[in-house]
């Protein structure tokens, strides 16, 4: 995985935060960041999300999350910007947001009974400073289900805006036989444990002064 330049936490710790921006239009990430009780605004970053040749899931998620943060930080150099992305991967195949019912069914049939790794990234940038970035993996063992049940799930949930077509915070949890991750929030789209650490490094106090 490529190494991104980053500032030392000690160099960023005394920065006075004037604005916090989430560089994503995802309602799931908005809901997750709201859990921290911090005031923030939203500005979606329009970037090309096409994978580079031979780019694996973790690399793609990390790169896209950082590119989103950098893009918005250029427009708001005094703000602390959070970028994030999620990529699902099964047997070396990268699974993005299906965008359509038939594509969601096809993705879930491909993953049926197998392990899917959801790579969830977060990056924090201020101005030209890359405070840091992390990619948190969540491994999901999918249950074995026939096409009729998978189709029924997709028609009920319509998870066309979720990587891998699995909305785990709702009915999608019924697709999983087991889930393993160091951060239970990562699967929903924004790994809050890593987010808190990076915000603290940027001078944003999440709990108290």
Q: What is the pLDDT of residues 97-134, one digit of tens each?
A: 999 999 999 999 999 999 999 999 999 999 999 999 99
Residue 82 pairs in a beta bridge with: 22, 124
User: Does pLDDT of 15 surpass 70?
Assistant: no
pLDDT of 6? 42
Candidate from 33-42, 152-161, 200-209 with smallest mean pLDDT = 200-209
pLDDT in tens, 46-70: 898 888 888 999 999 999 999 999 9
Candidate from 15-29, 110-124, 173-187 with smallest mean pLDDT = 15-29
Q: Which domains does the chain have, with CATH numbers?
A: 9-201 (3.90.950.10)
Decide if 85 is catalytic.
Answer: yes
Average pLDDT, the chain: 90
Residues with Cβ < 8 Å from 66, sequence gap 6 or more? 4, 83, 121, 123, 125, 130, 133
Q: φ, ψ for residue 56 (rounded to 5)? A: -85, 170
Note the pTM of the prediction, 2 decimals.
0.87
User: Which among 46, 48, 85, 102 is annotated as catalytic?
Assistant: 85
């Amino acid at each position: 995985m490529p190494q991104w330049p980053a500032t030392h936490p000690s160099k960023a710790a005394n920065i006075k935060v004037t604005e916090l921006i989430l560089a994503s239009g995802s309602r799931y990430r908005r809901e997750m960041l709201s859990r921290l009780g911090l005031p923030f605004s939203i500005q979606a970053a329009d970037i090309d999300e096409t994978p580079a040749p031979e780019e694996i899931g973790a690399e793609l998620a990390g790169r896209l999350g950082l590119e989103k943060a950098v893009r918005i930080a250029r427009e708001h150099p005094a703000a602390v910007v959070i970028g994030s992305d999620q990529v699902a991967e099964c047997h070396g195949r990268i699974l993005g947001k299906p965008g359509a019912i038939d594509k969601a069914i096809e993705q879930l049939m491909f993953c049926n009974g197998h392990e899917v790794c959801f790579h969830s990234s977060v990056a924090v940038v201020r101005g030209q400073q890359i405070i840091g970035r992390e990619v948190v993996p969540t491994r999901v063992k999918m249950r074995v289900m026939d096409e009729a049940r998978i189709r029924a799930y997709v028609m009920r949930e319509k998870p066309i805006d979720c990587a891998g077509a699995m909305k785990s915070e709702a009915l999608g949890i019924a697709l999983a036989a087991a889930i393993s991750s160091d951060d239970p929030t990562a699967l929903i789209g924004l790994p809050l444990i890593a987010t808190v650490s990076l915000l603290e490094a940027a001078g944003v106090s999440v709990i108290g002064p």
